[in-house]
Structure 1
């Protein structure tokens, strides 16, 4: 089975766990196991093949591997955040969360050049960043990274995963901060409130479609602005749109699955009205 399809299936399974598992630590544990298992499969596969071109290798490390790797980083950190969060007063929880937010923002400040490179979808350094040939360019900044398998890593694949994960963590911590003191950190949802019940990649797919079609502000609007508006309207956190978009790009079947489903559903209703 192709690696892209395995990554797509992982995204779907993680979305299923998200929808049925409310406990953060349990959800993290289940997700970590899935991500680890897929990375093991990837590593075994990579050890047996030789890439036909740098572009093929870049695609794997920049997109395909990012699905299990970035989710692994995210759920490890999410679990750590929750199990170490103070159980006492609201003020102690706020201090803890604000410390974590400060630390995450320091990460973005340190890696600003690389983040801009990714966000602006530049590619001129991809050979250095996302092929194994330049693995030795990786600068060790943390003890846990003293050993990384040079046959299954590039100089920046883990940094990209941390970027995606840390954006999701900031979004999660912002949400937790706003809801301290409420039961389990969740709001009581009014019965008449509109809530997004599709997946995070579905929301990202819709946002990119709205921008590409120039349906909002004649196209003169950023993806992040559209996403924020959708999240506010439907009370949903979709995570990092750039990571979600990378997951959409590697789909083996239809890249526009959500839009296809919308079309099928609308046509079905129209056909019923004609009967």
Structure 2
């Protein structure tokens, strides 16, 4: 199995574990602690596979450090940082908002400091890839899940940090909006299924054109779903990409809905 295929299967498994935590844990600190352990164990799995894997070319190795590893490590950095933010969160609403804004400023300061690298990545540049994303074979090897030199290049960790701060920006911005938004007292429904299922349904409805005569974008639907179902969908664009990489059935939730409805339709009709 090549590295890309292995990593995709590992990532899907990790997302399934996330969904289990989302259903079982209520406290945000407990959730973040569980998320950290899940990402850490799957990152170790990626790292261990790397140790016995031979890249077929420098291009494949660059792809790993530029595109595959950051998907795992940026999540680990994000959840580590978010855990610290939640643990130190004050009680009053105004203080919480200030607390979140300070965390956002910290992330933005890091991005501003590394703006040239940030632009290089977001513009899809490649001319310095061999410098940025090939390991330095002369460094000594460590044992840390992130900083082991066999699992690092001179710049890939910086890329992971930038991605983690982008995740943090999206998460905290939504959290602040939720704190400042009037409470909707007229929505009794709360989404208790996996977020990935609601995102799958959301995209299906959007591409089917069933809202506003086919002129509604995904962001508008996501914002409305989050409000009426009292759920934070997170980075639904990234989750949709994860759905696209599923190896077997891609429409898992829609297939389940179809099966459940077919079962219900086959039940005997109730006589009034």
TM-score by length of 2: 0.71
Structure 1 position 208 matched with structure 2 position 203? yes
Distance apart, 1:241 and its partner CA = 1.1
Q: Using a 3 Å threshold, how does the CA distance of structure 1 residues 160 and 242 change in structure 2: closer, same or farther?
A: farther
On the 8 A contact 1:196/1:234 being kept in 2, the answer is yes
In structure 2, what is the equivalent of residue 239 of structure 1?
234
Cα offsets for 1:107-129 (capped at 9, x unmatched): 67776757865xxxxx6759949
Distance apart, 1:262 and its partner CA = 1.4
On the 8 A contact 2:104/2:168 being kept in 1, the answer is no
Distance apart, 1:57 and its partner CA = 5.8
Distance apart, 1:257 and its partner CA = 0.7
In structure 2, what is the equivalent of residue 96 of structure 1?
99
SS at match of 2:232: coil
Question: How far apart in 2 are the matches of 1:92 and 1:268?
Answer: 50
In structure 2, what is the equivalent of residue 81 of structure 1?
85
SS at match of 1:45: helix
Which moved further from structure 2: 264-273 or 7-16?
264-273
Q: Using a 3 Å threshold, how does the CA distance of structure 1 residues 102 and 239 change in structure 2: closer, same or farther?
A: same
On the 8 A contact 1:202/1:258 being kept in 2, the answer is yes
Give me the CA root mean square deviation.
3.9
Question: How far apart in 2 are the matches of 1:20 and 1:127?
Answer: 44
How many residues are paired up? 250
Structure 1 position 225 matched with structure 2 position 229? no
Please list, as runs of the form range in 1=range in 2, the aligned pairs for 1:32-181 lying within 5 A after superposition.
32-52=36-56, 65=69, 68-87=72-91, 89-104=92-107, 113=119, 125=126, 128=129, 132-133=133-134, 148-149=147-148, 151-153=150-152, 155=155, 157-159=159-161, 161-162=163-164, 165-171=167-173, 173-174=175-176, 177-178=179-180
Question: How far apart in 1 are the matches of 2:86 and 2:129?
Answer: 36
Distance apart, 1:42 and its partner CA = 0.5
Question: How far apart in 2 are the matches of 1:245 and 1:223?
Answer: 11
SS at match of 2:21: helix
Gaps of 5+ in 2: 137-145
In structure 1, what is the equivalent of residue 252 of structure 2?
257
Gaps of 5+ in 1: 118-122, 137-146, 180-186
In structure 1, what is the equivalent of residue 21 of structure 2?
17
Q: Using a 3 Å threshold, how does the CA distance of structure 1 residues 115 and 190 change in structure 2: closer, same or farther?
A: farther
